[in-house]
Structure formats: C-alpha cells, structure tokens
Chains A and B, each alone.
Chain A
Amino acid sequence: MNPSLLSVQEVHKSFPVPRGLFTPGSDDVRAVRGVTFTLQSGETLGLVGESGCGKTTTARMIAAVEKPTSGHIYYKGRDIFTATREERREYRKRVQYIFQDPYASLNPRLNAGEIIGEPFRIHGEPVGSSLQYLDDLLAMVGLSPDQKHRYPHEFSGGQRQRLGIARAIALRPEIVIADEPVSALDVSVQAQILNLLKDLQAEFDLSYLFISHDMGVIRFMSDRVAVMYGGRIVETAPNEELFSNARHPYTAMLLDAVPRLGGRSRSRRGGEDAVPGRRGDTETGCAFSPRCPEALPRCRIEVPAFKELNNGHFYACHLGG
C-alpha cells in the first residue's frame, strides 16, 4: 500500500512557561497531547475545536515551523523532522498555509504582485517563469490583474483573503493548511471564499487541513472531521457520519451549542465555564470530564482509549461500552 500523503503519529507538543517573575523553574503547557491522523491526496480533513484546544499548534507542526516534543509527522512515508535540509525545503514548498487574519498576514509594504511573487523568491525560483503567471494567479482567485500594484490596505477583507490564497497556491502545493480562513470575514464574503477554496481544490487536486471552530463551515468543507479537545482528538469520522451520529459528549455539546436558524428550540448546555488545556488542568483522566454532563468517576482517573464504532468512526470516551 502506498503511504498516506501525510501521516501524523502520536504527536505531542509542550511549551515551557516560567512559574513567575521571581520563582525559578518553569511548568509545561501540554498544548498537544498525542494526536494521530492521516491526510489522503485530494481530501479535506476538517479539524474543529474551541480556542486553546491545540488545533493551531498541530497545524504549525505540520507546516514544520514548530517541532514536536515527541512523535512523528510523515510526508509520503518520510519523517519530515529527520529529513535532510533539501528534503525539508522541498516539503515546505509542497505545504502552504492560509491564515485567519488577512490583515495581519500580508506585508503592508509589499504590493499584491510582490506578495504573491514572494514564495518564488524565497524558494529561489524565477517568478513563475513569467509575469503572466502572476496575472493568472490573481485571476484564479477572483482578483483582476490590474490590481497587482495595489497595497493590502487598498483591498477589502475578502479580497485580502483572496490574496492570501493566491500566495498559498502560487507554488502549486499538494497540501494547504487553512487555519480559520473565513473566521474574520462577513457571512456573504465567507461563502465566496469557501466556494473558491473548493474550486481550487478540484482544479489542482489539493489536500486541505481545514481548521475551524464553526461546525457549519466544517460540514460544508470536509470529507472527514476530527474534533479536538484539550490537546487530543476526541472523535473522528466521515463528515455525514459525524453530523448524524456523534458519539463523544463534547461533539454533542458543540453541535448543540450552534444556534439554529429555524428559531429557538433546544436546551442550552455548555457545562462549566472552563478553558481547555490551561495550566492546572487535571493531568489524569479525560480532559473533558470537568465539563462533561455524563462524567463517571472513572473518567477523572483514566484517559479513555480510542474505540472504533464502525468503519472510520472513532471516539475516545468511557461511556457507551
């Protein structure tokens, strides 16, 4: 069998945080606590979870800008952190990033043409062999080629995100990590950008790691979904399966918390007002147990193992056998 395009194996990441100004030593914040998943060619894996759950740290390790504390990330069977410099450089060309904030992620001193030309400069390639290619890139993301002399502040939020997308696809990558790419955008613009991302995926056979906190957006974009909580994946399943047959209480809580457009109907749940993954969190047991409406005594002691419910649907919970 061919190795997966991308395979993330038992990845952990801790950050040291000083105890205090006058207290020596430091504590570890365990941002990611053993994450495993694969990404196949041409598919979209949706990664959903609330702030602080470790989704961005996971993405940064895949982009090779952060090194895991332990665990491995394989690209076509090669461990990207033991690879040679040249291999790593090649990998960085194949994996590109779209950021949440189109205001902060574009250099205000570069014009649009320079921004999308930058990946070529960084990787020492002639600018797409011709300037025509830059014009084509702009057209592909729905901007007009005569806008290439404009600076970021002259574009709207949606247009800036189009520019960020053009920069990400400039080197024809295989994997695009989209980290909350529409969270800063208005609803009407959000739909334009999501459709654009789907069009580009079909055209260039891209694989997306699509990170969002919005369940509606995740459902629209993903082939498979992984739900993260407290640095771990707590449930993963094919899209339709997850939305129709969620098993983990956290997934259920997330789905329940989404306001329904049909009008008020549901009970409000949300459990304790806790921020996951913070220092002082229980190091034992299920990270979700303090907020879980159905927690058993066992949940506070023992980390639940992954169980397979049916083909491709896994969840980590002590409940339900």
Chain B
Amino acid sequence: MMPVLEVENLSTFFTTPRGDIRAVDDVSFQVETGDTLGIVGESGCGKTVLSLSIMRLVPMPPGRYAAGKIILNGRDLLTLPEKEMRRVRGKHISMIFQEPMTSLNPVFTIGDQLRETVRLHQGSNRREAWEKAVEMLRLVGIAAPEQRMNDYPHQLSGGMRQRVMIAIALSCRPRLMIADEPTTALDVTIQAQILGLMDELKRELGTSVILITHDLGVIAETSRRVAMMYAGQFVEYADMEAIFSRPLHPYTLGLLESIPRIEGKSGRQERLPMIPGSPPDLAQLPPGCRFQERCGDVMAVCRLREPPWQEWGQSSRYVRCWKYQ
C-alpha cells in the first residue's frame, strides 16, 4: 500500500537558555492510505510538537528542525516555501484539536467558519460554499444543518462543537487528518459518538488519520498501528493487537498495567501496578535510555548508551530497548 505520509528521523529541538530541548528526537513512521495511526504519550512527551512539526506550525525560533524529512505525496514538506505550505494545510493535511471552544472563533457563525475554509481552498463561489458547508454539517451528523449554520460556537454543546471542527477539517477532503486529543474534553458517551463518527468518515472519504492521545482505550478502539512516545522519542511501534497482547517496551507494559479496568473476572484490585517517578527533563537528559530511572528491568548498558530504534521479529514491530538487542 502507498504511504500517504512518511516521516523519517524527524527531530525538532527548541533552543532555550538551559540548552536544547529535544522535544521530538529521531522519530520515524509511515501512515498508509485510509489507515489510522495512534500515537500515545503522556503530557510533555512531545506528541503535540510532533503534530505541529508535520504541519510546520512550530514557531521558529525558538524551535528548529534539527534533522529529518516529512514526505507527503512524494514531496518533502520541510523544503517547501511557506506560501506553498499554506496550501497544504487544510487542503492536504488538516488538524483538529482537543478543545473545540478555543479553536473555533467565537465571533463568527459556524457557517462563516466552514465557508471560509471551503472558499479558500476550493475557490468556490458563495452559493457553492454555502451548499458544501451544509452538506458537511449533515455528514457529521448535525440535525437541521441549515439552521445550525447561523449559530455561534457558544450555542452548541461540546460534542456538537467537535463535530463542527471535524466538518471544517474534512471539508476539503484532505488526505490526512491529524487529531490531537479530539475527545479528551468530552464526556465518555459523547466521546464514543465522536470516535464512531471519525471512523465512519474515514471509511467514507478515504482519509488517513493520525490520532494523538494519552488514552490507550481510545487507541484500542480506533487504530491499526500504534506508536508509544516517551520523552521525545518513539519507544515502540507495532500493530494495535500486538501492543495490547504482547507489549515489548517496559514503558508500554507499565502503562497498560496501571490503568484501572472495568472488565475482568478477578474482581477489584487492591493496588494498581504503577510506574514510579516521573519523566525526565528534556533539557537535561541522562546518558543512555530516557526511561532508565523508572524502569524495573534496567541494566548497566541502559545507563551508558542510548538504545537504538530497531525492528523486532518479522511483523514490522519496532522497539527502542536494550532488552531486545
């Protein structure tokens, strides 16, 4: 299958008085056509900087691309002039964010905001843009879309706003949609609706999705491939089933075990297994593995040399850990 997006050895650093912050460090992955890649990580692991890097929205300076390529449709986005990049955003890659209230403009109706995107990228006239906007609202399951066009964001519930964001993001039929914690601010029942909607639309429109989240449950429901991110690096990358049935990296395993479950026969646990400590300071990384201080399996080599990113077995699994060398 043709990959839509290929990211090769991407590194995004920030220059600060305390030294470089290696927010994204040597990250490589591919997104296939019509596929969903889930990227899981905790706050501060660099997952949002990664998505902003793909969109070339990292403020530079203080940020800079230290290395790597981002290839979309055979072109390296890092070499495009800003003018062309502006055409890529929204048309080829679009993005939805965690908090739909802050990413919608409160002083324009949702109809205005939808039509803006359509007219900018598709050059439609007013009438066509209106019709396309109504059609998009209908597609994302908003009842009476003609009336909703005149509503302002504050008149909608959180779930409705996120539907509008998705409608805007998909209005130009992009090849790739990056969704950064799209359901984190929503209640669970609404989250289930939005994830279902994203899945349907992905099938219908053939859009590939990068879904960024801290919630492994959301990943389990939506993604075919999963990447685990820790302290700026991918530490494991595999098929979803493989991640859950046989996690390799101690971080993946620790995270899976520390989630309180609602299913399970053995009744309620007395204590949750937990990962001790907290992630390292990205400006003052220790030599060796970034997970060493929190790892139960730490060896001498882990404190000396950084583990390489290597394929494991034959199932296109990758892991960054000395245990699997």
> Do A and B share a complex?
yes
What's the nearest-Cβ distance from chain B to residue A237, in Å?
A: 14
27 pairs, A vs B, C-beta closer than 8 Å = A50-B189, A156-B278, A157-B43, A186-B42, A186-B43, A187-B258, A188-B255, A190-B258, A191-B260, A191-B273, A191-B274, A194-B260, A198-B270, A220-B269, A240-B268, A257-B188, A259-B220, A260-B220, A260-B263, A261-B216, A261-B217, A263-B241, A264-B221, A270-B189, A270-B192, A270-B196, A275-B157
Closest to B159 in A: A273
Q: Which residues of B contact A188 (CB under 8 A)?
A: 42, 254-255, 258, 274-275
Query: Which 3 A/B pairs are nearest by Cβ-Cβ distance?
Result: A259-B217, A191-B258, A220-B260
B259 within 8 A of A: yes
Closest to A158 in B: B278
A189 within 8 A of B: yes
Q: Which residues of A contact B222 (CB under 8 A)?
A: 264
Q: Which residues of B contact A198 (CB under 8 A)?
A: 270-271
B240 within 8 A of A: yes
Task: Give Cα A165 to B256, complex, Å.
Answer: 25
Task: Give Cα A237 to B200, complex, Å.
Answer: 36
Task: Give Cα A257 to B218, complex, Å.
Answer: 11
Task: Give Cα A269 to B196, complex, Å.
Answer: 9
Task: Give Cα A12 to B131, complex, Å.
Answer: 47
**How many B residues have CB within 8 A of the partner chain?**
47
- B residues contacting A by CB (< 8 A) are 42-43, 157-160, 163, 187-193, 195-196, 214-218, 220-222, 240-241, 244, 254-256, 258-263, 267-276, 278
Contact of B272 among A156, A220, A262, A264 (CB under 8 A): A220
Asked whether, in the complex, the Cβ of B272 is within 8 Å of the Cβ of A239, the reply is: no
Known contacts A216-B262, A270-B189; is-contact A187 B216 (Cβ 8 Å): yes
Contact of B244 among A213, A219, A255, A263 (CB under 8 A): A263
Asked whether, in the complex, the Cβ of A260 is within 8 Å of the Cβ of B217, the reply is: yes
Q: Which residues of B contact A16 (CB under 8 A)?
A: none
Task: Give Cα A274 to B258, complex, Å.
Answer: 32
- A residues contacting B by CB (< 8 A) are 50-51, 156-159, 186-192, 194-195, 198, 213-217, 219-220, 239-240, 243, 253-264, 268-271, 273-275
Tally of contacts, chain A with chain B, CB under 8 A: 131
Asked whether, in the complex, the Cβ of A51 is within 8 Å of the Cβ of B187, the reply is: yes
Known contacts A216-B262, A220-B268; is-contact A258 B278 (Cβ 8 Å): no
Asked whether, in the complex, the Cβ of A216 is within 8 Å of the Cβ of B260, the reply is: yes
Asked whether, in the complex, the Cβ of B217 is within 8 Å of the Cβ of A268, the reply is: no
Asked whether, in the complex, the Cβ of B268 is within 8 Å of the Cβ of A263, the reply is: no
Q: Which residues of A contact B278 (CB under 8 A)?
A: 156, 158-159, 189
Q: Which residues of B contact A273 (CB under 8 A)?
A: 157, 159-160, 163, 190, 193
Q: Which residues of B contact A240 (CB under 8 A)?
A: 267-268
Q: Which residues of B contact A274 (CB under 8 A)?
A: 157
